[in-house]
Amino acid sequence: MHGVGTRTDITTNRDHPVVLDITRLASRVGRGPLTGVDRVELAYLNWCLQDVSVPFYCLARISGGYALLDREGALVFRSKLLGALPWGPSDLRARVSMKLPKGRRAAESDLRRLSIERSGRQGPPEISLPNGVYLNTGHSNLSKATLAGMRDSGLKVATLIHDMIPLDWPQFQRDGTVQSFEDKMRRAADYSDLVIANSWHTQTRVKHYFDGWGAQAEYVTAFLGADPMRAEVAESASVRPYFVALGTIEPRKNHAFLLDIWEQLKADHPTNQLPELHIVGRRGWKNEDVFKRLDQLKGNGWLFEHNNMQDAEVRRLLSGSHGLLFPSLAEGFGLPSIEAAQLGVPVICGDLAIHREVLGDYPVYADLQDIYLWKKTILEQAEQRQKDLVHAHIAKSPKIPTWSEHFDAVNEAMGNLL
């Protein structure tokens, strides 16, 4: 539920040799459940590993340089990432890299052990791979050394861009990250032969910047896939109706707006008659006022914060809810709303272009300036039986994008590029 890409039942339609960058996945080891962008990189790893007839390698940026894995090494890495195999002990290099988190040290140690070739900071190992493509899908390792090194090896460069939110909404970002993001995107613009956008809206925003920076890339738009999930038509596990907000607790997710709604509802209703609000996601950045409010409201009987839920737990919680509340001010793709639609759970969200593009008329669109409309909609949903709500919404569920469709589009675009 935090993202996508954990399944391997996707089509084997990769026609060309690929070097997949797994730097982001390696960096996530030991940091809890994989979230959206991590799961996309995992989906690409699954896709690339399916077809044994086409050459495949993985590249990771590690302390002091790079590690290159062949298919066998990539299979072992994936097994460790998913918990099927344990991570090995930290090697000497990792033990002296004390600034790295423990999980990252273990992952980098295993990457060194699994690698077929390594290189220093000056650039990745040379790779002889005729008609090959270097794929970067995680916004990580977009350095000049990496991209120029891939080009020098004769590879085409394909980059998946998830959004341009740090440039469009800089006020929501961590201090110092906007310039870093722009630097990455400028390098992607300089070196990418193919840009993969996760929506038409994202492609529009990418082209707005990349064209201004002189990019000469081809573009393909491919919606991210959603893992198939069974619609669970079950009575709510809670005695009272409840709603779920799913996503990192950061400013653009607009959790403060939901807390304002419930504060107003509380003024008109006894606490034991309020619908519950379940906030699911890690605490992020630049949101100290919201964190303070969450701490103050803890144990009040209507607010519940879940910071480290596993996918199955989130699915059960969302399935029994009266709706997903999604008041984000900006989104790259908005996976939680798609997952809710798969389960037949109502979605109440702001009128963002990406929601219209992917979900059509499925959600209830409510102006983020109209707190009265949000309160009214929430109370109306809460008064209905949860079973009736889910049945009604399953019937009007939109067409959910699949990984097969995504990779069909990417494979065709790579073929045209080559």
Give the tokens for residue 358. Answer: 């992917």
* 7 pLDDT more than 60: no
d(CA 251, CA 284) in angstroms, rounded, equals: 8
What pLDDT sits at residue 393?
A: 67
Provide CB contacts within 8 A for 173, sequence distance 6+. Answer: 166, 181, 285, 286
Residue 233 counted as domain residue: no
267 and 187 in a single domain? The answer is no
CATH number at residue 341: 3.40.50.2000
* 6 pLDDT more than 90: no
- Average pLDDT of the residues in 24-47: 91
176 and 251 in a single domain? The answer is no
184 and 253 in a single domain? The answer is no
361 and 335 in a single domain? The answer is yes
What pLDDT sits at residue 153?
A: 94
What pLDDT sits at residue 233?
A: 46
- What does the pLDDT look like over 111-147, one tens digit per residue? 999 999 999 999 999 998 999 999 999 999 999 999 9
Exposed (0-12), middle (13-18) or buried (19+): which is 395, by Cβ within 10 Å? exposed
252 and 220 in a single domain? The answer is no
123 and 209 in a single domain? The answer is yes
Residue 236 counted as domain residue: no
| Amino acid identity, position 121 | R
Residue 187 counted as domain residue: yes
User: Phi and psi (nearest 5°) for 359?
Assistant: -105, -10
Domain that holds residue 193: 18-225+403-417
Q: How many CB atoms lie within 10 A of CB 359?
A: 21
- What does the pLDDT look like over 389-415, one tens digit per residue? 766 666 677 888 999 999 999 999 999
High-pLDDT (> 90) share of the chain, %: 69
Q: Is the pTM of this model over 0.85?
A: yes
Q: DSSP letter string over 209-235? A: HHHHTT---EEEE-PPP----------
d(CA 70, CA 196) in angstroms, rounded, equals: 24
CATH number at residue 215: 3.40.50
* 230 pLDDT more than 90: no
254 and 365 in a single domain? The answer is yes
* Domain count of the fold of the chain: 2
185 and 46 in a single domain? The answer is yes
Asked if residue 344 lies in contact with residue 391, where contact means CB atoms within 8 angstroms, the answer is yes
255 and 344 in a single domain? The answer is yes
Residue 315 counted as domain residue: yes
205 and 295 in a single domain? The answer is no
d(CA 348, CA 326) in angstroms, rounded, equals: 6
301 and 372 in a single domain? The answer is yes
| Of the candidate ranges 6-10, 79-83, 163-167, the one whose mean pLDDT is the lowest | 6-10
184 and 148 in a single domain? The answer is yes
